[in-house]
A and B are shown apart, each in its own frame.
Chain A
Amino acid sequence: MTFEAPGFWPPSGPEVVFLLLGLVAVGSALLVVTTRQLVHAALWLVLCFGALAGGYLVLTAEFVAWVQVLIYVGAIVVLLLFGIMLTRAPIGRSADLDSGNRWAAVLVALATAGVLVSVVVAGFGTAYAPLEPGQGAAKPLGSSIFRTWVLPFEALSVLLLAALIGAIVLSRTDIRGRE
């Protein structure tokens, strides 16, 4: 699928939009891992997930984009905020959010980024995907889930039920282990 790939310059309209959204996502992700306030980290996470949802929309994966907004922005961040409140985190700045191995973490992250980016640029530098609207709409995705992928779908629903029961058992205080 490397047919008649247009050059990198000038970038097309969707590419410009995607690059701006990717810039927002990476910048807010950096703020998530460097901010000194717990609540702000969760709110920057909202911005990062929102920008990623926009990126999915540009990539014509509309259904995934709306699921991302519903579940990540709607449910997971709210759950994280509940966790922050229930652990009575300080609201303002807290000085000790980073542990002692911060510089080792910087080193490992830079090495990971270097390896991954150089590998993918070397591997997919010429790959070009023409975008066709409607590829990721709800109808083709739904028919493929309920035809081809129906068994993993059902297994996943059992997994969700198990996780639900596990979370209930873990968070109730009146259920004790067997003496």
Chain B
Amino acid sequence: MHVVYPVVVSALLFSIGVYGVLARRNAILVLMSVELMLNAVNLNLVAFDVWLRDRLHGGQVLTLFVIVIAAAEIGLGLAIVLAVYRNRQSIDVDRLRDLSETGASGEAGPPEEPVGVGEDADREARP
């Protein structure tokens, strides 16, 4: 097996993941694209482990660790996304601009009803 094949496949998968993270608006789709990038890294690790014939199997063991960390990350990420959805009724990442410095709701297009409700709920929750 030429090492080029798996490595090129993983480079293409990584760039597809980069596109997804940058272009998608829904937070769950962004998480899916992050998973694509992690898988690209895993393929790279396995290919180089097979190529270098590591006696300690460092590449494959690190692949298993990356899979476990991806599971932890997706669990926490979805919990955060659900908390955001509970407060804001929306998980579009480009509409969540409360932390931006210049006119938060002015740039975000026409203010929608759910967003206003979410802001009210947030204001009430604040001490």
Contacts and interface: CB of A to CB of B under 8 A. Distances in A.
Interface residues of A, number: 91
Contacts of A152: 65
B6 A102 contact: no
Nearest to B59: A61
B21 to A, nearest CB: 8
A88 B39 CA distance: 27
Interface string A1-29: 10001001000101100110010011001
Contacts of B53: 1, 135
Contact of A76 (B74, B82, B86): B74
A48 B3 CA distance: 20
Contact of B28 (A29, A87, A110): A87
B6 A22 contact: yes
Given A49-B39, A72-B39, A86 B67 contact: no
B2 A128 contact: yes
- By DSSP majority rule, is chain B's interface helix, strand, loop, or mixed? helix
Contacts of B33: 32-33
A71 B31 CA distance: 16
- By DSSP majority rule, is chain A's interface helix, strand, loop, or mixed? helix
B29 to A, nearest CB: 6
A91 interface: no
A1 B22 CA distance: 38
B39 to A, nearest CB: 6
B60 interface: yes
Contacts, number: 250
Contacts of B70: 71-72, 76
A160 B72 contact: yes
B19 A108 contact: yes
A76 B33 CA distance: 13
B56 A159 contact: no
A55 B85 contact: no
B9 A166 contact: no
B23 A87 contact: no
Contacts of B8: 117, 120-121
Given A15-B5, A124-B7, A127-B2, A109 B16 contact: yes
Contact of A45 (B35, B71, B76): B35
Contact of A33 (B3, B14, B19, B58): B19
B117 interface: no
Given A164-B75, A167-B79, 6 more contacts: A26-B9, A80-B74, A105-B22, A109-B18, A110-B15, A129-B3
8 closest A-B pairs (Cβ-Cβ)? A105-B22, A109-B19, A33-B20, A163-B72, A105-B23, A113-B15, A22-B9, A116-B11
9 contacts: A45-B35, A59-B46, A86-B85, A100-B94, A109-B15, A124-B7, A141-B57, A160-B68, A160-B72
